[in-house]
């Protein structure tokens, strides 16, 4: 810690917390296979880890948590697995809404939410409305999300504005692009965590993670808990972020 640090919860420097943590939750299937269980059991256990990490981030004082819960590519999985994931998502939203209210957490979804089944969409909209005024933490669920699709959607919106002569192409800046992504108004992720050891980005937040610190752990998502999250944030606080500049 330096002279401008402030020892906070769990020995973390409260002046240097990541504002936005994004997580690729991977390894539910392997967690189940290792136990000779159906993959769906792995997703159930993964939902438990979601609860733990949402609570922990709120407690630590993280402003935005983005979880990659379902990608555009995940629609290619067997129908039975997709349905199970949708049921789990619905259950999670129903069971956590009171806790989100108690803990001042606002729920948001990024992705092609219109592709989700109607019942999930309704629960999602209800929960987003209910928690809409909460300010303690933003919980962003990436659902039917793909980074390339997000960029294509942004290009379409901006091109239409140019076509309608609403903007001059010379005025298109980094900030302007950011304001037309699903994450408009949010800080970029400071820290990107991926569980289960794969060294891939998997089409997640392609624009937003340009300068994120990346941490990949071998832990499978259902086994990922608060203690490891704190260790990763501690590691983050000891990294030097240069944003392309010199140290």
Active-site amino acid positions: 26, 74
Residue 158 assigned as binding residue: no
* Least distance to ligand FPP, CB of residue 13, Å: 29
Regarding 215 and contact with ligand FPP (CB under 6 A), the answer is: no
Among 17, 25, 64, 233, binds ligand FPP (CB under 6 A): 25
Residue 166 C-alpha from the chain's centroid: 32
Regarding 111 and contact with ligand FPP (CB under 6 A), the answer is: no
* Least distance to ligand FPP, CB of residue 222, Å: 8
Among 47, 66, 90, 108, binds ligand FPP (CB under 6 A): 47
Task: Name the residue with the smallest CB distance to ligand FPP.
Answer: 29
Tokens (6 digits) for 145: 């999300």
Regarding 43 and contact with ligand FPP (CB under 6 A), the answer is: yes
Regarding 92 and contact with ligand FPP (CB under 6 A), the answer is: yes
Instruction: Please give the Cα distance from 154 to 129 (Å, whole number).
Output: 25
> How many CA atoms are closer than 13 Å to the CA of 162, on its beta-carbon side?
12
* Least distance to ligand FPP, CB of residue 39, Å: 6
Residue 31 assigned as binding residue: yes
For 26, other C-beta atoms within 10 Å of its C-beta total 21
* Least distance to ligand FPP, CB of residue 245, Å: 35
Residue with smaller CB distance to ligand FPP, 67 or 100: 67
Residue 39 assigned as binding residue: yes
Q: How many chain residues are in contact with ligand FPP, going by CB under 6 A? A: 20
Among 13, 16, 27, 137, binds ligand FPP (CB under 6 A): 27
Residues at the contact surface with ligand FPP, assessed by CB under 6 A: 25-30, 43, 46-47, 50, 67, 69, 74, 85, 88-89, 92, 141, 196, 221
Annotated binding site for Mg(2+): 26, 213
């Amino acid at each position: 810690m330096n002279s401008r640090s402030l020892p906070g919860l769990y020995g973390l420097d409260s002046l240097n917390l990541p504002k936005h943590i994004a997580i690729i939750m991977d390894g539910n299937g392997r967690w189940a296979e290792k136990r000779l269980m159906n993959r769906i059991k792995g997703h159930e256990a993964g939902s438990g880890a979601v609860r733990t990490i949402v609570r922990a981030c709120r407690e630590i004082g993280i402003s935005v948590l983005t979880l990659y819960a379902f990608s555009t590519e995940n629609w290619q999985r067997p129908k039975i697995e997709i349905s199970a994931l949708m049921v789990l998502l619905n259950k999670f939203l129903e069971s956590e809404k009171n806790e989100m209210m108690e803990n001042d957490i606002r729920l948001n979804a990024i992705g092609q939410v219109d592709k989700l089944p109607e019942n999930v969409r309704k629960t999602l909209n209800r929960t987003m409305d209910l928690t809409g005024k909460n300010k303690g933490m933003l919980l962003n669920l990436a659902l039917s999300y793909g980074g390339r699709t997000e960029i294509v959607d942004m290009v379409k919106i901006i091109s239409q504005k140019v076509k309608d002569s609403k903007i001059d192409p010379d005025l298109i800046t980094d900030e302007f692009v950011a304001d037309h992504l699903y994450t408009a108004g949010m800080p970029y992720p400071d820290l990107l965590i991926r569980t289960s050891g794969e060294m891939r980005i998997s089409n997640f937040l392609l624009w937003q993670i340009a300068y994120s610190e990346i941490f990949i752990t071998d832990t499978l998502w259902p086994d990922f808990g608060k203690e490891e999250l704190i260790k990763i944030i501690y590691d983050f606080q000891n990294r030097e972020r240069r944003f392309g500049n010199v140290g």
